[in-house]
Chains A and B, each alone.
Chain A
């Protein structure tokens, strides 16, 4: 798991001998450098390897405990995290690594999901659909079944209920391939268009797929607005299946990111013209990125349909892509580990944010609003202090804090007011929370939590080049010179005076 960290550590610099002070007798400067230089990411290999193995064992143990535990909800949430993780990691390949803003991921997921669902549908459900008068599925679509294909190939052992998992894998793979074909089709406009024009084309594609899926011609395969129920959910809700496929996706994406293909894709992100001038076939690489990303999106769509148990059009609205965008932007565009952290946050808010959307008295809402506003004012103050902006407390902070105090007072002491007797239900508060979070991230820290760097042990135990050592502190006249003490003390004083009311 030793990923590459861009910055050289202090020891790397110190280990290279100073050329000017080198003794004449030493055989060769380069030899010394070669012998003594050790990249920071190969140092402490044993420690990092042990930590990796320990972490993986802990993860598997935790998953095992959850799997054996009694909480069905927790199991489902973890499975959903893994499914959305596959989708976000694949979207990250286009949005983060290649730098193309793609907004049509729900379209790829829809294609993969419907394909997988149709291919894996049990025979009894097929008979019901064939007999039903409301079903719009054509006979050809009803005949599309991995089970039938296995029988036709003479593999009767793979057509039994016990071997459903083999058929599910085959269906997932085919769903991914079909989505990848559409990924290539969507990738072609990327050869002519750039930037937001391409974003809008991918968005138009995603919406057009969803609108087309309910039209009479496509309804022969999708059953129109009804969709089809009865997709086996044993796999989509199984922790081992979803996390297994997630680990495959993460492995492929990580290997891809550090391969020559990944470097070419990152080159396209940084400067498309320059990378073309350096000999990168940008057309091929962009279409390849779209195809690979769409493949994994199709797999995620298949698992998502299996998680829900039905294939319906309202599973694949644009909000899906929006949540993936939130996850990617919060975690760090281009960083696989960051994207997974963002996905965890989004899934957590989605699944455990129900209290936000329940009905409370208005006084409770006032208290909540006051708390949020005061927290916002405090955070704004901390940010301004961290950025060393003056004045630390500006009109915006004062206004927000005053509004917060008013709301808090009204909520706490005004609960007898007739106007506050009604209760109010916070429909849509989860999505509002996530969109406000996304706006704040985009304004305050556009690179996300992790930026473009990956989590690694070397990164975790790295030396902080931006923090001075004790020796440097001693040399720093600024901190030791008593003449500066007064100014520093005054600074502290003015901060203390301007604290929150």
Chain B
């Protein structure tokens, strides 16, 4: 595909750029207009909205990557991804609040995690009794057991541990619920995904308390950060720096994995044509499991950052739903199945929710549009699907849709 487009120079459309320029002009005009009406809407106000939009957009992008990877590989809308995100947040929460563990619990948890880690190593080594797999399992068991008994987790350690836990969870979901349905009608797979999502929601109620939980790991990143924008003070937290940086690191790592490794190559091959990839010797089931692993790990990272950004996580029954569905909308807006599309769509949705609300703030005569911002994602998604189903940066999917 890319070879063809680089060989034959395609005629570029001029009007999308023009529309973009026009929109930016309108936004700038609106900002100056608001400032002229009310000096409270100064540069610092919009700069704050900008960094917060970028922060929220980064979180959406991280979640959307999981949706878009799974969709790209097996054409399944993984409804349970939002709930994996929820489990990631709660796992991290218990990580940095409930240590140290009593030793029986620590051994049980360590055994489960070590088994999951061995399964993951098993993707590459192909045999559970392989020395590397066994050594990895023993190492993981020892590390997790010692860590659970003695070490107090910081947010980064909790995030990494939670990423491993949700990774194992994602692979388990694929193995138990989705793999028996390969080749089944897509509606059956979608209904199963909804059922898994419901199962995890109610499992969350069962396992974690069903109430809003404070999420404040001891760290300076959630502390106050003061900017000066054109002489106006802007108070935010260090999270507006941390979230985009971690997102960038993870996205770069993912891109390197997908483009530079054998498994990444197998992944791209499976996404193009699973049957042919299978004929060429790609172990498709292993590739799909890797996809679920990576997507779920990104979801856990997003969950920890989400909790730190907002200082609390919602009830397990509903925490995953809205972020999950909005991130799916972001993936569709960007072009589902494409990794850059997910990032672009996520950031765009962040701006749509936060910056648009800042452009139409609550004033004395206008009630503001804050109450409506949860619906922007759905409306934008429906609009994109009707106008350009392939999304902003996606390839043309009109045959597949």
Contact = CB atoms under 8 A, between A and B. Distances in A.
Interface of A: 99, 101, 103, 189, 192-197, 199-201, 203-205, 207-208, 211-212, 214-216, 318-319, 322, 325-326, 329, 419, 426-429, 431-432, 434-436, 438-439, 442-443, 446
Q: Identify whether the interface residues of B are mostly helix, strand, loop, or mixed.
A: helix
A101 B188 CA distance: 10
Contacts of A208: 375, 378-379
B378 A435 contact: no
A215 B332 CA distance: 25
Interface centre among A193, A215, A318, A429, by most chain B C-beta atoms within 10 angstroms, is A215
Contacts, number: 125
Q: Identify whether the interface residues of A are mostly helix, strand, loop, or mixed.
A: helix
B401 A193 contact: yes
B367 interface: yes
Given A193-B401, A196-B77, A207-B378, A439 B196 contact: yes
Nearest to A208: B378
Contact of A200 (B188, B332, B379): B332
Contacts of B188: 442, 446
Contact of B378 (A103, A192, A205, A214): A205
Given A207-B378, A446-B185, A322 B198 contact: yes
A207 B325 contact: yes
Nearest to B105: A419
B206 to A, nearest CB: 5
Interface stretch (B116-124, B176-184, B232-240, B344-352): B176-184
Interface centre among A205, A208, A428, by most chain B C-beta atoms within 10 angstroms, is A428
B145 to A, nearest CB: 19
Given A435-B196, A436-B199, A215 B371 contact: yes
A211 B385 contact: no
B186 to A, nearest CB: 6
Given A432-B206, A435-B199, 20 more contacts: A101-B187, A101-B191, A192-B386, A193-B386, A193-B389, A193-B401, A195-B186, A196-B76, A196-B190, A208-B375, A322-B195, A329-B191, A427-B202, A427-B205, A427-B206, A427-B210, A428-B202, A435-B202, A436-B195, A436-B199
Interface residues of B, number: 46
B192 interface: yes
B385 to A, nearest CB: 6
23 contacts: A189-B386, A195-B187, A195-B401, A196-B186, A196-B187, A201-B385, A208-B378, A216-B367, A325-B194, A419-B104, A426-B206, A427-B205, A427-B210, A428-B205, A428-B317, A431-B198, A431-B199, A432-B206, A436-B195, A438-B195, A442-B181, A442-B184, A446-B188
Contacts of A101: 187, 190-191
B206 A428 contact: yes
A436 B372 CA distance: 35
A329 B201 CA distance: 20
Given A193-B389, A197-B401, A199-B77, A446 B184 contact: yes
B202 A443 contact: no
A101 B191 CA distance: 9
B328 A200 contact: yes
B196 to A, nearest CB: 7
